[in-house]
Chains A and B, each alone.
Chain A
Amino acid sequence: MDVEILARIQFAFTIAFHYIYPPLSIGLGLMMVVMEGLFLRTRNPHYEQLARFWTKIFALTFGIGVATGIVMEFEFGTNWATYSRFVGDIFGSALAAEGIFAFALESGFLGILIFGWNRVTPPVHFIATLGVWLGSMFSAVWIVVANSWQQTPAGYHIVGEGLSARAEITDFWAMVFNPSSVDRMLHVWVGAFLAGTFLVLSVHAWYLLHGRHVALSRKAIKIALVLATVSALSQLFLGHRSADGVAHNQPAKLAAFEGHFDSLATADLYLLGWVNKAEQKTSGLKIPGGLSFLLHQDFNAPVKGLNAFPEADRPPAVNAVFQFYHLMVAMGMLLIAISVFACWQWYRGKLFDRRWLLWIFVFSVLPPQIANQAGWFSAEMGRQPWVVYGLLRTSDALSKVVTANQVLFSLIMFALIYTLLLALFLYLLNKKIKHGPEGI
């Protein structure tokens, strides 16, 4: 295999692994802030128990997020040197802002959050929790800004040519608020809330099914369900806004989302399907003209298809982009169904009576994870062949001096160490969950 494919596999592998953890941290951070806030208001010790318990799980996800995040940062330089030189001026300032304003904030207060329960007063501890959560939210902002700039570059100009060409900032705020960053940031935030709230639902439903920590778990499930339902429903709107943005800014990507080839035809909306790239045909269960309607509120409006773009500028893996995109949408719908149905049961006063519903909660920890991963895979694969949309091709972005063997070595190394890390995560998570919240 050549350097490019190995480097892409390595990046995809390390970023996908990394992305299990930060969304959990952001989502659990929200839960902890609410739980601890409720404790400060009501002084009900149940809320403190909950906050303390989830802080331990948070510490775990945060720790692994940091370790795998350092890898991402270094990988830009090691594997994508040409890219780093090209985007450094822009990506760099977003990364610097992330470090200074977000990451330092969360890591600074983390010590107090985890080890400080008996050393500081409850309000000070609450401030630390809030600091850590806000830090994790801000982290997401800057990272998504940097990524969004790669999707929809703005506020820059190109200096130099060929190998020494680079993008330089001309307008910082135009760079930050590039056409896709706000929509995508909200979409990512809410995706993270889903990851965190459904983990809480899952664990506490498991306790209820085993008759443990009953009073505590009922409180936790109610808090998580409210946040989960609001998040799941708002994702419908935010996801639509993101897709609208893609249609506007990256039409080739949107065409790949729906496997739409013909440039002048109305576009269908698939529930599920299969793209045959060779024959330029997509088949499956569809709403005819559905995409046209979503984008233009008109079933007959034409939508730019893949054929409107030169072969070299289309995403090569159309079917993969299609499948990941539809997987994400399906998971989102599933989460809406679960949370809305559960709320209805709650309204009828039967939320905790239905064991099968609790079992659904137990397994509902997975759909948000799948949706988050699938969403990013479709966003990133749909951007191909560009690493910076319209400006720098992925194949030109590599490190010139790094050989395939070196990348293969590091890829195997990451496979080993991340297997160990995943084992550690599941082991500790399981142990902490089995152990459960402590009495105070």
Chain B
Amino acid sequence: MATFLGIDYPTWWFLVVGALFSGYAILDGFDLGAGAWHLFFRKEESRRIALNAIGPVWDGNEVWLVIGGGALFAGFPVLYASMLSAMYIPFMLFLFFLIFRAVSIEFRSKESMLWWRRLWDISYFVSSIMMAVLLGIVLGNILQGMRIGPNFEFTGNWLEFINPYALMTGATTLALFMMHGALYLLLKTEGRLYARLTILVKSALVFFLVSFSVTSLYTLLYLPHLSDLFKSSPMFFFLPALAFLSIANIPRLVSKHRYLLAFLFSALTISMLLILVAVELYPVLILSTQSPEFNITIYNAASSEHSLRIMLIMAAIGAPLVMSYTAFVFWTFRGKVKMDESSY
């Protein structure tokens, strides 16, 4: 098999997809998280500021999902086909809430009637929460393994996606995003809303630490395949240790009011957790609970080497471009929210 720098192409593409989904989780994570706080802000002014804190960037953040999805389709079509058709309902609901949320953001501030704004506030809040939970549910099912049979077709029941573990990962994802979102809002707001957020962020920390601990415990007890590697080889033990340190650092920084650093550490935490998942699964993408021969791996799900090489060249050219103009946009809109005529 052809390699580049000693690493084979499917593994390279696995890294690309992983990086894209980390980017997506970090970026859309904070704006979904911010949305999940929306009804906790009681003043109209606070809600508008919170909405405008994500105003110029939320759409761009979702671009990472589009590109990540495209990369998954391109590199691992077998996985893409099996995963999306197996979890038809959660993905359809995700799309529904994604559109509903966009509609809510756009509609909300266009009329000043109280009932109008209340209605869209609620739908924005609910759809932000549901998107985070559904992402977590999908992740939970992937971690747990699915009933994959011959031809890598799902052989289970359409309702199987709802199970205790998936609900736990759903809650944990929501908690993580809410913590991340609260920290982002702290960077973007001042005055009364800022003061309220300094309190809310602490509840977010508690919510996250509790749900994360419960999920981790469950994983260790009931899903041993997810921690075999870390137990068997001490060399890999530093990864969970790093993730743990990164998480532990967040409350420390929050108590010191160093929110920018705390935000960066929550971003680091998101990517560390995804790296843990990736390392544990590799080279499997979805474990078949039927038989190991039906495991969907990066090798049996991958596109041809020729195709992967073309796409890796594209990624190598495109990635610096994408990063540079993303950085430029965030730089242009740095600092606290200032409302003007183009605001939401």
Taking beta carbons and an 8 Å cutoff, which residues of A are in contact with B?
A: 56, 60, 63, 66-71, 73-74, 76-79, 81-82, 84-85, 87-93, 95-101, 103-105, 107-112, 114-120, 131, 159, 163-164, 166, 168-170, 172, 399-403, 406, 409-410, 413-414, 417, 420-421, 424, 427-428, 431, 438
A170 touches B306 (CB 8 A): yes
**Bound-state Cα–Cα, A131 to B314, Å:** 19
B106 touches A95 (CB 8 A): no
Contact flag A77-B99 (CB < 8 Å), given A95-B74, A107-B60, A116-B332: no
Complex contacts, A70 vs chain B, CB 8 Å: 62, 65-66, 69, 95, 98
Complex contacts, A120 vs chain B, CB 8 Å: 332
A78 touches B91 (CB 8 A): yes
The B86-143 residues at the A interface (CB cut-off 8 A) are 86, 88-89, 91-92, 95-96, 98-100, 102-103, 106-107, 110
Residues of B contacting A: mostly: helix
**Bound-state Cα–Cα, A105 to B328, Å:** 12
Contact flag A71-B60 (CB < 8 Å), given A88-B74, A431-B110: no
A107 touches B151 (CB 8 A): no
A104 touches B322 (CB 8 A): yes
**Bound-state Cα–Cα, A57 to B84, Å:** 34
Given contacts A66-B62, A77-B73, A96-B74, 19 further A-B contacts (CB under 8 A): A74-B95, A76-B80, A78-B92, A88-B76, A88-B81, A95-B70, A103-B66, A105-B325, A107-B60, A108-B326, A108-B329, A114-B56, A115-B342, A117-B342, A401-B86, A403-B158, A413-B96, A420-B100, A428-B110
Contact flag A111-B91 (CB < 8 Å), given A92-B303, A406-B158, A428-B110: no
Partner of B303, one of A56, A89, A109: A89
Partner of B77, one of A56, A89, A402: A89
Taking beta carbons and an 8 Å cutoff, which residues of B are in contact with A?
A: 55-57, 59-60, 62-63, 65-67, 69-71, 73-78, 80-86, 88-89, 91-92, 95-96, 98-100, 102-103, 106-107, 110, 151, 153-155, 158, 303-304, 306-307, 310-311, 314-315, 317-319, 321-322, 325-326, 328-329, 332-333, 340-342
* Identity of the chain A residue whose Cβ is nearest the Cβ of B322 in the assembled complex: A104
Partner of A84, one of B62, B73, B86, B310: B73
B100 touches A417 (CB 8 A): yes
A169 touches B81 (CB 8 A): no
A100 touches B67 (CB 8 A): yes
Q: Among the interface residues B110, B322, B326, which one has the most CB atoms of the partner chain A within 10 A?
A: B322
Would you give 22 A-B contacts (Cβ < 8 Å), ordered by A? A70-B66, A70-B98, A73-B66, A74-B84, A77-B85, A88-B73, A88-B80, A88-B81, A90-B307, A93-B310, A93-B311, A96-B71, A99-B71, A108-B63, A115-B56, A117-B342, A119-B332, A119-B333, A120-B332, A168-B306, A169-B310, A399-B81
